[in-house]
Structure 1
Amino acid sequence: MLSRGDLTDDEWAVLEPLLPKSNNRCGRWRDHRQVINGIIYRVSTGCQWRELPTRFGPWQTIHKRHMFWSIDGTWETLLRHVQAVADSEGDIDWDINIDSTSIRTHLHAAGAPKTAATLSATSKGAAERSAHMRGLVSAAVLGGGGAAGEALGRSRGGLTTKLHLSADGKCRPLSLVVTPGQRADCTQFEAVMDKIRVPRLGPGRPRRRPDSVGADKAYSNRRTRTYLRERGIRHVIPEKRDQAAGRLRRGSRGGRPPGLDKDRYKKRNTVERAINKLKQFRAVATRYDKRGYVFLGTVTAAALLIWLRS
């Protein structure tokens, strides 16, 4: 299966040059490859960190490495590099699609302290580190304090998290955003689009504008269409029935109906298939991470493996 197995030599050759190097202040890092293999095992199986097999080394080391790389953007840097390599080879289909999926939250994911400062703020230095941590993750996870700040939302079924994503035409995630489960899809459209950023291996700005965008009726509103029109992005978003009725009631003032390329809209299934690939990883299909930014790091690590093994 896609989600199983340690890094191959070819996959490790891609990641190794981008990983943090050991220094005198931090001491010697435990072998990155061994630690990443442990993270892959946990993301794939959804097991508790302390239940990791001993061949990966101390579970505390693996857990902390995953947490730190989720905070400082290492996982996102690795994902963008792999995307950049694919783009340089012309391997990205820029007819992208956007959607979201709800993820059930395990009861162990609840109960995180309201702020990181409550964990170890026994000194001025600890409080400053906690404030710095909150600043790093504020742009990655959307929501306020408490459960919402950890991208946890309440519904009839209990706590849920919603994953918003864009995917290229080959069913691979391009950008990821997590929010509380009750957050409407259309409110995160711009956030998902703004996180599309594929660097160039040579000179030039990162590519941020796709050839076209497809989405379902949940994204049918004036703000979304204006956003895409101002950026010159062709889009395929069907009109809601009540919106069409309101436009007809206004007569000539209602404007023309939005065009719909049915053949292009059929390709929207690529984002659904990308979601299915992500949910092959059991730690993505069910959320076990208390912190929202750690869960986003888990999803990003899963997306990285999809790109490496596609």
Structure 2
Amino acid sequence: MGRGDLSDEEWARLEPHLPKSVGRGGRWKNHRTVINGILFRQRTGIPWRDLPTRFGKWKTCHDRHRRWSADGTWERILRSVQADADAEGRIDWSVVSVDSTVCRAHQHAAGARRRLTLIPGRRRHPARHRPDEALGRSRGGLTTKIHLASEGGRRPLAILITPGQWDDAPQLIPVLDRIRVPRPAGGHPRTRPDYLCGDKAYSSRRNRHYLRRRQIRHTIPERRDQRANRQRRGSRGGRPSGFDRARYARRNEVERTVNALKGFRAVATRYDKRGYVFQGTVTLAAIRLWVR
């Protein structure tokens, strides 16, 4: 086992959730070697062609990662390992925090064609094939933003990527809608945390109405302009939002989750041209955090 490879304990948690067949009677081979190769590339950020030969052919690792990113296999694996953790009581639902982080895009990540190339035999998945490729321009150049919801154990529950210049507030609802932790015993998956924390970037009437409708208690600071507008309207402005200082202090957990994700160099800097491939890259990094 090389440095950064999956340990026997991690592999025991991950192996039951990997796909067995490739279609038409074929079977996947060398799952552990290939996944270790993909993780090596994510940890170091090297080009695919520079993968060490101990992981086999570099194209095998590249193609499997791209294919599993396109058909949603990585996300299905993530939900499966989350379900195992929830069954063992390892998910802290008491306080879930949301936040975002900006990743610089390498020059090799730019220039993807607008026409999407789909994998033969696989239907298009709208959540992973974005026409804008989740790249945005700012003063620093091309950027991508990762929005995530993190549980109390500092592991991601849901991930969404957007262009770097997109605001945080409109992405709160899409991120929370992606929280779906299956229940091994059956029934509807768990989608609602006990409590939600977010910074003032998520403060909006639409978000607060959504959280109240779903009966999710929350602590989101009110922005100064929103508070002034509410006070100016008098009784029609409604009551001030509550603020739990002790629970808000736990918002550092999502920031530490971001730091853990950016420990993977291929996440801290985007090298993937396609948005759905980068979504798979971030999802695999989240899987690694869950199986540790």
TM-score between both structures, scaled by the size of structure 2:
0.95
- Is 2:200 the partner of 1:201? no
Deviations 1:45-102 (A, max 9, x none): 0000000000000000000000011111111111111111111122111110001000
- Give distance in 2, aligned partners of 1:216 and 1:210: 17
CA–CA separation in structure 1 for the residues paired with 2:222 and 2:22: 56
- Checking the alignment, whether the CA contact within 8 Å between 2:70 and 2:128 is kept in structure 1 is no
- Which AA in structure 2 matches 1:102? V
Which residue of structure 1 aligns with residue 75 of structure 2?
76
Contact 1:11–1:308 under 8 Å retained in 2: yes
CA-atom RMSD in angstroms:
1.7
Alignment partner, residue 17 of structure 2? 18
Cα distance between partner residues in 2 of 1:178 and 1:16: 27
Match of 1:231 among 200, 203, 214: 214
* Structure 1 letter corresponding to 2:265: R
Map residues 81-120 of structure 1 onto 2, 5 A cutoff: 81-94=80-93, 95-117=95-117
In 2, Cα distance between the equivalents of 1:22 and 1:90? 31
**Whole-Å Cα distance in 2 between the matches of residues 266 and 153 of structure 1?**
31
Following superposition, the deviation at residue 17 of structure 1 comes to 2.2
Q: What pairs with 1:294-305 in structure 2 (closer than 5 Å)?
A: 294-305=277-288
> 1:261 deviation in Å?
0.5
Alignment of 1:154-165 (within 5 A): 154-165=137-148
Change (3 A) 1:194 1:110: same
Q: Distance in 1 between matches of 2:73 and 2:285?
A: 13
Number of aligned residues:
289
Contact 2:100–2:146, Cα closer than 8 Å, also in 1: yes
Q: Is the 8 A contact 1:284 1:298 kept in 2?
A: yes
Match of 1:34? 33
In structure 1, what is the Cα distance between the partners aligned to 2:140 and 2:169? 22
2:67–2:119 contact (8 Å) kept in structure 1: no
**What is the correspondence of 1:164-203 to structure 2 with a 5 Å cutoff?**
164-203=147-186
Partner Cα distance (1:23, 1:248) in 2 = 61
CA contact under 8 A between 2:42 and 2:267: conserved in structure 1?
A: yes
Q: CA deviation at 1:224?
A: 0.2
Q: Deviations over 1:99-140 (max 9, x none)?
A: 1000000000001111124xxxxxxxxx8949x55x31x223
Alpha-carbon distance, 1:30 to partner = 3.0
CA distance in 1, matches of 2:167, 2:79: 27
More helix by share: 1
Contact 1:140 1:177 in 2 (8 A): no
Cα offsets for 1:6-62 (capped at 9, x unmatched): 111122122222222246737453311100000010010000000000000000000
Q: Does 1:222 align with 2:205?
A: yes
Shifted more, 14-23 versus 201-210: the winner is: 14-23
1:153 aligns to 2:136 (yes or no):
yes
Q: Percent identity of the aligned residues? A: 61
Gapped runs of 5+ residues in structure 2?
Answer: none
Question: Which letter does structure 1 place at the counterpart of 2:56?
Answer: G
CA offsets per residue over residues 145-193 of structure 1, 9 Å max, x none? 3xxx210001111000000000001111000000011111011111100
Q: Which residue of 2 aligns with 1:255?
A: 238
> Following the alignment from structure 1 to structure 2, what is the Cα–Cα distance between the partners of residues 79 and 29?
19
> Alpha carbons of 1:99 and 1:23: their partners in 2 closer, same or farther (altered >3 Å)?
closer
Alignment gaps of 5+ in structure 1 = 118-126
Superposed displacement of residue 254, structure 1: 1.3
CA displacement at 1:201 relative to structure 2: 1.1
CA shift for structure 1 position 257: 0.6
Work out the CA distance in 2 between the residues paired with 1:34 and 1:16: 12
Q: What do residues 182-220 of structure 1 show as CA deviations (whole Å, max 9, x unaligned)?
A: 111011111100000000111221100100100000110
Give me the TM-score of the superposition, normalised by structure 1: 0.89
